[in-house]
Amino acid sequence: MKVLRVDDEAIPWQAIGVRSDASGRPRIELSGVAEALAEQRRIEALDVSLTHEGPFAAAVVVAGMRGSR
């Protein structure tokens, strides 16, 4: 949600998913409102890093934006 810079938009939790690619690396999958918002915000790539230890988990998402260096 933070990387999409959500203001007052309502985004259903099902619109943002994490899937594994062919090599097993996690990737973000957007649909519906989240996908439209990413396009509006000029986000062309999302990279995710996941970690967990026991009952704790964390994720970091970095957005690649069109027109940025």
List the CATH number of the domain containing 20: 3.90.470.20
If you search the block for the tokens 């062919």, which residue do you land on?
22
Distance CA 56, CA 32 (A): 29
Q: Is residue 2 part of a domain?
A: no
Q: Is residue 8 part of a domain?
A: no
pLDDT band at 36 (very low <50, low <70, confident <90, very high): very high
* Number of domains, the chain: 1
**Which domain does 52 fall in, by range?**
13-65
Q: Please give the average per-residue pLDDT across 36-54, as a whole number.
A: 93
Distance CA 19, CA 12 (A): 17
Does the structure show a pLDDT above 80 at 12?
Answer: yes
Distance CA 33, CA 15 (A): 7
